Structure 1
Amino acid sequence: MMNRDEKEASKSIGLAWAASLVVTALITLLASFWLQSASIINGGSTGSQKQALLANMRMNIARSAEKEKSAVLTTSDEESARFAEESKAATREVNRDLKTLEAIIAKSGSAKEKELVARFGKSWAEVQQINAGLLESAPQHTNDKALELSNSIGADLMHKIDDNLTKLTAKVTPPARKAQMDKIAGDARIAIRNIALLQSRHIDAMADADKKKFESSMQAEQTKVSSALKALDKMTSKQSRPYIREAKTDFSEFMRVNSEIVRLSTLNTNRSTAALSLGDKRKADAGCDRALEALQKLANGKP
């Protein structure tokens, strides 16, 4: 059963896909404008040039947004990098057309058109600033990599420790001593599993403050395991000493892996890019589109 953080993450991903579908539909709509305007973009009246430029800009902004969201959502580093580059390419197209539009508006545009171009420029600068961070972070997938590390190497080390602790107490006598050692070994196993659970919660957490709390809990559980292994080491006979030695070595490696999981999770690129893509980035994109839509109406002779 998913915990609340996992449900929120799934909800965010679902919303991102929904937004991506809307953007794709917008691209299709704007493509029709582009096909109609392509023949006049290099000639015709000033009004026709404006219309063609504005249609191209709206289409490429939509394309850039769609590719950016694909870069955020895909789990492949290679695909994410490819989508990021395609988003950047669409952005360059917008910048090229914006320079042409600014020159036309500066020369013959109305006061309202100049105001709208300035408004667009402000929103577009915000979009590009957000995109720079998004497209750099998106291919890193640090949360995914942290989870994979926890579920693979981390899980394998936990099972190795279990096996060695089982072998350690298997032939202990008398029964009272075996029961005592089994209890200590059981406490170590529980604490190690608690660390593994905390890894998952750390990876799912969005806020740095929450992550810090989980790290403090990890340290407390680490102390419990270390104390248990130290106690078992003192109680272990010479013939069983290799088992406790391996258990301690594997636990040291487990905590080294845990440190890497925490590092990757703290970078939090999956969570932060999804939140930014669905939040400030979407608002900035909408601001750009509103300004361009208003400019299109003016270019078509509508107030």
Structure 2
Amino acid sequence: MATSTASPSHTNTKSPTIRRILREAAELSNTPSPDYTAEPLESDLFEWHFTLRGPPNSPYSQGIYHGRIILPPAYPLRPPSFRFSTPNGRFEANREICLSISGHHEETWQPAWGIRTALVALRSFMETDVLGQLGGLETTEAVRRRLAQESTSFKCAVCARTNADIIADCEDRCKQAASSCSDVSVPAELNMGWRDELETRRDQPSSSRSERISSQPSPGDGTSDAAELAEGFVQTTPSVSDDVTQPPLPMPAPGTQRNTLTTSQARTGSDEVPLWIDRAIVALVILLAALVLKVLLGR
């Protein structure tokens, strides 16, 4: 691919977002996979080109597909956008697609996932049903198999290499790599969420989504939390473990609970209306009723 992990001279390497992008590019280069690859353009770190094999045991298994990833300025606090350049019969070519890892569903994105996790998830999404998905295509299995056979000779005008050549280079680099080419797993949140994302996410009010997005910090606000999120990403297995438990809460000291209840009761009693006021009101009501009866009977 006609890209490089070196930062251009005008790149602000002090930016947490830029440092995160460079680290991800270096991690993908140093730990290659025989099934996919991605690199940023030399002229624009926010535009990446990816190439991946189709998922095994599927109509796409013989295919090799190329596409683009566009990172937002606030990456990774906000998710990237994806589009395929190679016709594949599952997604429209050169059109942004709707995924639970893309900019169409910012509420499901987690900053720790990164490009590698997105590529692994993207392969799994190819086997899902279209169900009216934005950028999805309804085609027959025969058409998808034919496009898979034709996809290996696709050549990106920017990368100037065929898909087959790019994947062959990935295989060679993986064999030469000192570290093992172990793959990452699709995060558990995506395994459970992508099948019904079109039903559940479609019904979500846009105002709620906007509030959630606006509440996220941006990497340029100077906060340490945003900088930490921007620079941190999971390099091997980004899936969240289900057996992670919260530490137990400390037990209260003897007598603490009783004191707390007493304080609460005292506070509640102080907020209530005094009993003598209630009695005075009742007496006034009775007196007024007696006066009204006296006036009526006197007539």
Q: What's the TM-score bracket when you normalise by the shorter of the two chains?
A: under 0.3
> Which structure: larger Rg?
2
If the length of structure 1 is used for normalisation, what is the TM-score?
A: 0.22
Greater relative CO, 1 or 2 (CA 8 Å, sep 6+): 1
Task: Name whichever structure is richer in strand by fraction.
Answer: 2
Task: Name whichever structure is richer in helix by fraction.
Answer: 1
